[in-house]
């Protein structure tokens, strides 16, 4: 009964979304107030219906209703209840429902928090979101219905993929999807602007907090996924350039570019057509990611079920949303009137942000190319291949280097025309500090290589630059939250770079044979395998190793790496044990028992990963910076711009 109610709610939601996607848009076009006024109530009803349907599916999971096919495929009566909740989005159908639920939440947020927007503009924004929602709901209802029943009812479910049975599943997908889907808001603002012909500074100011909010979610979502892969997959890696990872990384890169170009669009009124295009691109890449992940055209470690009909459906959706908006862009972008002539000098904030945009877009393109290349080769019947980390590392990293270099200076440079002579004395100290520090730091860790030194120099350059600015500005008064947000996020990037550089340069790894009582030394720590025992979990059996970690002969920690075999799967799962610290992670994972050894020996893998947690700390700082930036007072004030930036009303007329 409850699943049917959930299904019904989804059908109603689809109808409401179709109404929302048509009448308010037409109303805004014909200036009919009654149709425009439909937008907010429709968005509210839509959101409630979708959330009700989502609750119904969760209920089916919690109550072990295996008569629902999707529940039977992704749950089991032994599955702990926390994972049951995560299992709601553990498969294809549920994760699409999560997608729609996130869209509903964003629509709700837009209709609640954007009271200051003109009604017609608001109607267009919600209408566009309604169209996207309708497209997805039709897909869910016709090709991925999570409420489908299964007869005869099985005694038990197939269980959730063991790799997903981790707290990471509960937090990572919702956060990631919130980011993915969040770019739909910037997209809707862009399309609404194209429809209404309004591209002024206030348009950019309205769009900024929404873009930053989506970007924060995506940043944290990607970081969580990376952390999850780090401790679950047992390989000790944190990023694999897997197609699914790339699918989330491309919108992130485009979204980062969008955040920066929006700053120019708001403050200086230039880059406007470009900004609109970026907003469309960021969301299009989110949709493309959904297509790549959900259609199964690319194989990946994330191994989702494939069904060509679904792929076709998402492709149609992609053509409708992206093709439609780009067509609109082709016809209307020409009307975005230039603000006189381009009036910024070679050395100015504008030119720095322009370079930032070019570099980020090139980076996005390299990732896109690497991700789609195997597909193109297969499509042209030239064989099957996969593009791996070597390509991405050689192509992507060099594009990022100049970006980091510019990041240290960019925020100091003033708009329109910067005084180079005034910049140099300040930069001199930052440059000296970072060169000396970055070049010598690797020596402390015993091994100097040019790439490690370069990474550290760049990171210190950014931190030194930010330090000088904070020192300067906080003496001159209280900078706005947005300014602090930028500094924090940039420092976050530097912290991230330190983590990546140090792990890359100084990680050590040992694959050893260990019998109980054996000791292995790595990076002034010793590891002693005390013994191996068996343990039974709720839906798995595990072999647990007890490993003492010693330093200077004293036991400082006991680690418990596990090898689990879930009742429902043949592949054993490695659950690594990690001792996390500021300076290093010590990482132990159990390999295989060595057959034929009389002393019960195992193959054991031990890693020393210096500074690896800085990678995620850096991401958290970026997210925190974003939170600061989006809570800046300016975004809450009514129309007028109080910070002296020019207000460009009616630029199209």
Partner 1 sequence: MSRYLFPLGAFALLVLLLSVGLGKDPRQVPSPLVGRVAPAFSVPELKAVGEQVSPADMRGRVWLLNVWASWCVSCREEHALLLELAKDVPIIGLNYKDQRVDARRWLEQAGDPYLRSAYDGDGRVGIEYGVYGVPETYLIDANGFVHYKQVGPMTRQVWEEKMRPLLKEMRK
Question: Following DSSP, what letter does each residue of 80-132 receive, concatenated?
Answer: -HHHHHHHTTSSHHHHHHHHHHHHHHHHHHHHHH-TTS-HHHHHHHHHHHHHH
Q: In 548-579, which positions are buried (b, 16+ CB within 10 angstroms) versus exposed (e)?
A: bbeeeeeeeeebebbbbbbebbeebbbbbbbb
Question: Of 83 and 352, which has the nearer Cβ to partner 1?
Answer: 83
Q: Are 420 and 401 in contact (CB under 8 A)?
A: no
CA 194, distance to chain mean position in Å, is: 27
Token representation of residue 581: 């610290």
Q: Considering the complex, what minimum distance in angstroms separates the CB of residue 265 from partner 1?
A: 17
Instruction: Tell me whether residue 251 is exposed, middle or buried, using C-beta atoms within 10 angstroms of its C-beta: 0 to 12, 13 to 18, 19 or more.
Output: buried
* CB nearer partner 1, residue 243 or residue 492: 243
Gap between the Cα atoms of 578 and 255, Å rounded: 33
Q: Return d(Cα 244, Cα 172) in angstroms, integer.
A: 14
Contact call for residues 190 and 159 (beta carbons, < 8 A): no
Cis amide linkage into residue 152, ω under 30° from 0? yes
Q: Are 37 and 140 in contact (CB under 8 A)?
A: no
Q: DSSP letters of 581-614?
A: -SSEEEEEEEEEE-TT-TT--EEEEEEEEETTHH
Is the Cβ–Cβ distance between 311 and 297 less than 8 Å? yes
CA distance 359 to 354: 9
| Token pair belonging to 482 | 């947005």
Taking the complex as a whole, the smallest distance from the CB of residue 379 to partner 1 amounts, in Å, to 4
Q: How far is the CB of 246 from partner 1 (least distance, A)?
A: 15
The nearest distance, CB 572 to partner 1, in angstroms, is 9
Report in angstroms how near the CB of residue 652 gets to partner 1 at its nearest. 15
> 281 vs 574, which CB is nearer to partner 1?
281
- The CB-of-614 to partner 1 minimum distance in angstroms stands at 35
Q: Where are the alpha helices (DSSP H) in 144-166?
A: none
Site residues (CB under 8 A) for partner 1?
69, 72-73, 76, 150, 152, 154-159, 273, 277, 280-281, 284, 288, 291, 295-299, 306, 308, 311-312, 315, 318-319, 322-323, 326-327, 329-331, 333-334, 372, 374-376, 378-379, 384, 565, 567-571
Q: Which is nearer to partner 1, 150 or 520 (CB)?
A: 150
Based on CB atoms, which residue is closest to partner 1, 150 or 405? 150
- Closest CB to partner 1 among 374 and 625? 374
185-to-110, 209, 298, 502, 622 alpha-carbon distances in Å: 8, 10, 28, 37, 21
Nearer to partner 1, 243 or 410 (CB): 243
The nearer residue to partner 1, 328 or 520, going by C-beta atoms, is: 328
Distance from C-alpha of 219 to C-alpha of 89, rounded to nearest angstrom: 20
Q: How far is the CB of 62 from partner 1 (least distance, A)?
A: 19
Among 113, 254, 111, 230, smallest CA distance to 172 is for: 230
Closer to partner 1 at the Cβ: 483 or 567?
567
Closest approach, Cβ 308 to partner 1, in A, equals 6
Least separation in angstroms between CB 294 and partner 1: 12
Nearer CB in complex with partner 1: 155/552: 155
Provide, rounded to whole angstroms, the least separation between the CB of residue 60 and partner 1: 15
Q: How far is the CB of 272 from partner 1 (least distance, A)?
A: 12
Distance from C-alpha of 61 to C-alpha of 65, rounded to nearest angstrom? 6
The nearer residue to partner 1, 20 or 71, going by C-beta atoms, is 71
Q: Which two tokens stand for residue 417?
A: 């025309």
Element (H, E) at 245: helix 243-268
* CB nearer partner 1, residue 156 or residue 417: 156
Nearest approach, Cβ of residue 66 and partner 1 (Å): 9
Strand partners, 558: 548
Rounded to the nearest angstrom, the gap between the alpha carbon of residue 109 and the centroid of all alpha carbons in its chain is 20
Neighbouring-strand partners of residue 511: 605
């Amino acid at each position: 009964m409850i699943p049917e109610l959930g299904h019904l709610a989804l059908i109603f939601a689809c109808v409401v979304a179709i109404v929302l996607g048509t009448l308010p848009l037409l109303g805004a076009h014909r200036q009919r107030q009654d149709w425009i006024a439909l937008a907010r109530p429709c968005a509210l009803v839509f959101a409630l219906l979708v959330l009700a349907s989502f609750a119904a599916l969760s209920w089916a999971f919690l109550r072990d209703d295996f008569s629902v096919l999707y529940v039977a495929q992704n749950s089991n009566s032994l599955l702990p209840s926390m994972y049951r909740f995560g299992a709601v989005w553990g498969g294809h159908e549920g994760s699409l429902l999560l997608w729609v639920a996130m869209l509903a939440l964003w629509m709700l947020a837009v209709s609640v928090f954007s009271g200051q927007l003109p009604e017609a503009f608001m109607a267009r924004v919600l209408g566009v979101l309604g169209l996207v929602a309708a497209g997805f709901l039709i897909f869910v209802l016709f090709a991925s219905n999570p409420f489908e029943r299964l007869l005869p009812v099985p005694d038990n479910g197939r269980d959730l993929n063991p790799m997903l049975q981790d707290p990471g599943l509960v937090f990572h997908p919702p956060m990631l999807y919130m980011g993915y889907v969040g770019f739909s808001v910037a997209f809707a603002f862009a399309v609404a602007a194209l429809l209404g012909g309004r591209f002024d500074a206030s348009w950019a100011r309205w769009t900024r907090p929404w873009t930053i909010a989506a970007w924060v979610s995506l940043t944290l979502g990607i970081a969580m996924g990376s952390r999850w892969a780090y401790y679950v997959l047992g390989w000790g890696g944190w990023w694999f350039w897997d197609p699914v990872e790339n699918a989330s990384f491309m919108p992130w890169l485009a979204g980062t570019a969008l955040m920066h170009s929006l700053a120019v669009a708001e403050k200086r009124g230039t880059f406007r057509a470009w900004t609109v295009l970026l907003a469309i691109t960021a969301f299009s890449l989110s949709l493309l990611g959904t297509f790549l992940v959900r259609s199964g055209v690319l194989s990946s470690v994330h191994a989702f079920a494939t069904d060509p009909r679904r792929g076709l459906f998402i492709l149609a959706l992609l053509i409708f949303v992206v093709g439609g908006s780009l067509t609109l862009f082709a016809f209307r972008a020409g009307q975005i009137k230039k603000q006189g002539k381009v009036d910024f000098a070679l050395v100015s904030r504008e030119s720095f942000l322009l370079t930032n945009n070019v570099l980020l877009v090139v980076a996005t393109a390299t990732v896109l190319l690497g991700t789609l290349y195997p597909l193109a080769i297969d499509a042209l019947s030239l064989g099957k291949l996969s593009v791996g980390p070597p390509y991405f590392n050689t192509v992507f990293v060099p594009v990022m280097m100049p970006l980091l270099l510019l990041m240290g200076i960019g925020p100091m440079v003033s708009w329109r025309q910067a005084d180079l002579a005034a910049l140099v004395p300040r930069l001199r100290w930052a440059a000296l500090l970072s060169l000396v520090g970055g070049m010598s730091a690797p020596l402390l860790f015993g091994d100097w290589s040019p790439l490690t030194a370069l990474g550290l120099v760049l990171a210190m350059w950014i931190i030194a630059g930010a330090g000088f600015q904070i020192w300067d500005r906080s003496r001159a008064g209280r900078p706005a939250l947005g300014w602090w947000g930028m500094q924090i996020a940039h420092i976050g990037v530097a912290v991230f770079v330190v983590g990546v550089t140090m792990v890359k340069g100084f990680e050590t790894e040992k694959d050893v044979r260990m019998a109980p009582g054996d000791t292995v030394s790595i990076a002034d720590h010793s590891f002693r395998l005390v013994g191996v025992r068996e343990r039974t979990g709720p839906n798995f059996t595990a072999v647990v190793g007890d490993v003492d970690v010693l330093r200077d002969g004293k036991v400082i920690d006991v680690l418990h790496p596990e090898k689990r075999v879930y009742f429902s799967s043949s592949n054993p799962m490695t659950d690594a044990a990690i001792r996390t610290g500021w300076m290093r992670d010590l990482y132990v994972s159990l390999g295989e028992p060595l057959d034929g050894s009389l002393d019960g020996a195992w193959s054991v893998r031990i890693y020393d990963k210096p500074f690896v947690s800085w990678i995620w700390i850096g991401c958290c700082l970026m997210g925190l910076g974003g939170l600061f930036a989006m809570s800046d007072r300016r975004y809450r004030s009514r129309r007028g711009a109080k910070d002296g930036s020019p207000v460009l009303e009616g630029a199209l007329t």
